[in-house]
């Protein structure tokens, strides 16, 4: 009985750790899901502990309790699936969305599969209540642990439970594979560790099926699993909070910059009015040649773009919102390329833009989106080494369900993987001439449109940016 009490006490360990974790991270959906999982692990361990009460419980009572508490390991499969769904749903962008294998794999993680796994777990649990699942208990003593304890006598359908738990291992392998698609390094690292430790826990539980091992092997697995998982969860949240506070400090700088921007907008608008006025006068002169007229036309378009941009900033500073209309994304990208035509010529860079959708439309702020692509293309131009032979920027589009995916690939010098996220932070620039505001503006604009931008791949041969934009994201939000 002492061994049984010890094992049950070990079973309380994951529950106590989970309660502590839940009290610290009250608003986290992930901590709630992990709490339920740890509760099931605790129930599983207590279920094992019951078998060591051979001198305190009758065989009949121990059998009923053993079958009852079997719900712990049985329902761990759907709860682990739910944890994975929670993490993936909170992940705004998935890498390599165009790969059909990954698209099919990600579609597995939805509510229908969760309901199926829950129902299937219920069937497996019910089978254990009948002799075809668990027939009875018998007293056992091993050389490994020379103490009398109960050991289950499994029925002809016990293989169903075994296959069910093997399915858990398969699920962990699938989850581990999907982590390759995740962009958030903290979540990716946590989910990988979670998979490894969960598989270790189940493998230690499988050893319980062998009478000569006793049923104590899973206790070792529970101790190690509980300690490591809680450690990794706290580590992940600590890193995320540290990053959040770092961003808050940068946001303070942005707020100060915003107050300065209000006074600068007025002066920029006045200067721009003068430029627009004189360019209109030049446009009316017949003596201008064809090239001069093209140059004047570009000055006028740039002035109109600057006027729209300053008006947007002015409106945003007043109401923290921008006007949204249905716009043609293809036209916006082509206009951005046009604005940078002289810079492209100067650096001998070509832009290859391919769009297979007509019309490619979404609800966006036209001026801000033009500036978004100006910033991206300009950054790509500046990132290309002078001695690069094939100076090219490739832009192409695709549509997955209701989301527009825009790929921008350049032949620049690349971005170190450790900087893939920080380049979107304000005032972080790896360009000597940069202020660190271009890419943060891009990120901010995408988020305002319920989209996102991330680095998919980057090496010394170039960088691949992926933009995801819901076609009706903003409008759907307003209609809710």
CATH class label, 2-246 = mainly alpha
CB 420 within 8 A of CB 455: yes
Query: Cα(395)–Cα(293) distance, rounded to whole angstroms?
Result: 29
> Token digits for 410?
């350049």
The helix or strand, by DSSP H or E, that contains position 297, with its residue range, turns out to be helix 290-319
Q: CATH 1.20.1070 in the chain: give the residue spans.
A: 2-246
348: left (phi over 0), alpha (psi -120 to 50) or beta: left
- Burial track 337-375 (b if 16+ CB lie within 10 A, e otherwise): bebbeeebeeeebebebebeeeebbbbbbbbbbbbbbbb
State residue 455 phi and psi, 5-degree precision.
-85, 125
In whole numbers, what is the pLDDT of the chain averaged over residues? 77
Output the CATH code of domain 325-480. Answer: 3.30.565.10
pLDDT over 90 for what percent of the chain? 14
Q: DSSP 3-state assignment of 457?
A: strand
> Token digits for 432?
């000597």
Residue 475 has pLDDT above 50, yes or no: no
> Token digits for 276?
């627009």
Query: Cα(139)–Cα(150) distance, rounded to whole angstroms?
Result: 5
Residue 87 has pLDDT above 50, yes or no: yes
C-alpha closest to that of 258 among 318, 216, 333, 304: 318
Residues 432-463: pLDDT tens digits?
655 566 788 888 888 888 888 999 899 988 99
Q: CATH 3.30.565.10 in the chain: give the residue spans.
A: 325-480
Q: What is the largest CA-CA distance in the chain?
A: 110
- Burial track 12-35 (b if 16+ CB lie within 10 A, e otherwise): ebbbebbeebbeebeebebbbbbb
- Tell me the HSE value of 193 on the side-chain side, using a 13 A CA sphere: 19
Q: DSSP 3-state assignment of 175?
A: helix
How far from chain centre, in Å, is Cα 27? Answer: 18
| pLDDT band, residue 377 (cuts 50/70/90) | very high
Give residue 233's pLDDT: 72
- DSSP 8-state secondary structure symbol assigned to residue 23: H
pTM: predicted TM-score of the whole model, two decimal places: 0.53
Residue 213 has pLDDT above 50, yes or no: yes
Give residue 209's pLDDT: 58
Please list the alpha-helical segments (H only) found in 91-216.
100-107, 111-128, 158-178, 185-206
């Amino acid at each position: 009985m002492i061994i049984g009490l010890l094992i049950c006490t070990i079973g309380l360990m994951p529950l106590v750790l989970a309660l502590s974790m839940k009290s610290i991270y009250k608003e986290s959906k992930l901590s709630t899901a992990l709490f339920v999982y740890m509760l099931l692990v605790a129930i599983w361990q207590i279920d094992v502990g019951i078998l060591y009460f051979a001198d305190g419980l009758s065989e009949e009572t121990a059998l009923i309790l053993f079958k009852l508490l079997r719900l712990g390991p049985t329902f761990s499969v759907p709860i682990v699936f739910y944890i994975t769904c929670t993490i993936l749903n909170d992940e705004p962008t998935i890498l390599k969305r165009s790969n059909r294998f990954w698209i099919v794999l990600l579609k597995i993680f939805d509510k229908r599969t969760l309901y199926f796994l829950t129902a299937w777990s219920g069937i497996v649990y019910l089978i254990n209540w009948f002799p075809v699942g668990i027939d009875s208990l018998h007293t056992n003593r091993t050389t490994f642990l020379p103490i009398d304890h109960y050991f289950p006598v499994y029925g002809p359908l016990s293989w169903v439970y075994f296959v069910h738990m093997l399915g858990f291992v398969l699920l962990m392998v699938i989850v581990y594979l999907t982590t390759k698609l995740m962009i958030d390094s903290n979540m990716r690292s946590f989910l990988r560790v979670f998979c490894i430790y969960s598989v270790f826990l189940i493998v230690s539980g499988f050893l319980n099926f062998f009478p000569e091992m006793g049923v104590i092997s899973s206790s070792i697995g529970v101790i190690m699993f509980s300690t490591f998982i809680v450690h990794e969860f706290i580590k992940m949240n600590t890193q995320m909070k540290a990053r959040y506070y770092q961003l808050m400090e940068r946001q303070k700088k942005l707020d100060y910059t915003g107050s300065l921007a209000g006074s600068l907008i007025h002066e920029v608008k006045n200067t721009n009015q003068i430029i627009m006025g004189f360019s209109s006068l030049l446009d009316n002169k017949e003596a201008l040649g064809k090239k001069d007229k093209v140059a004047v036309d570009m000055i006028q378009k740039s002035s109109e773009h600057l006027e729209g941009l300053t008006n947007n900033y002015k409106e945003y500073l007043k109401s923290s919102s921008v006007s949204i209309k249905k716009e043609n994304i293809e036209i916006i990208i082509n206009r951005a390329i046009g604005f940078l035509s002289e810079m492209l010529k100067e650096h001998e860079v070509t832009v290859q833009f391919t769009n297979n959708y007509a019309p490619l439309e979404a609800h966006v702020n036209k001026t801000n989106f033009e500036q978004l692509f100006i910033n991206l293309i300009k950054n790509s131009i500046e990132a290309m080494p002078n001695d690069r032979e094939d100076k090219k920027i490739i832009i192409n589009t695709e549509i997955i369900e209701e989301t527009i995916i825009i790929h921008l690939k350049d032949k620049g010098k690349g971005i170190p993987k450790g900087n893939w996220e920080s380049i979107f932070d304000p005032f972080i620039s790896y360009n000597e001439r940069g202020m660190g505001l271009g890419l943060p503006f891009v990120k901010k604009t995408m988020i305002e449109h319920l989209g996102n931008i991330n680095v998919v791949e980057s090496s010394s041969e170039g960088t691949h940016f992926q933009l995801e934009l819901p076609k009706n994201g903003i409008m759907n939000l307003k209609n809710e």
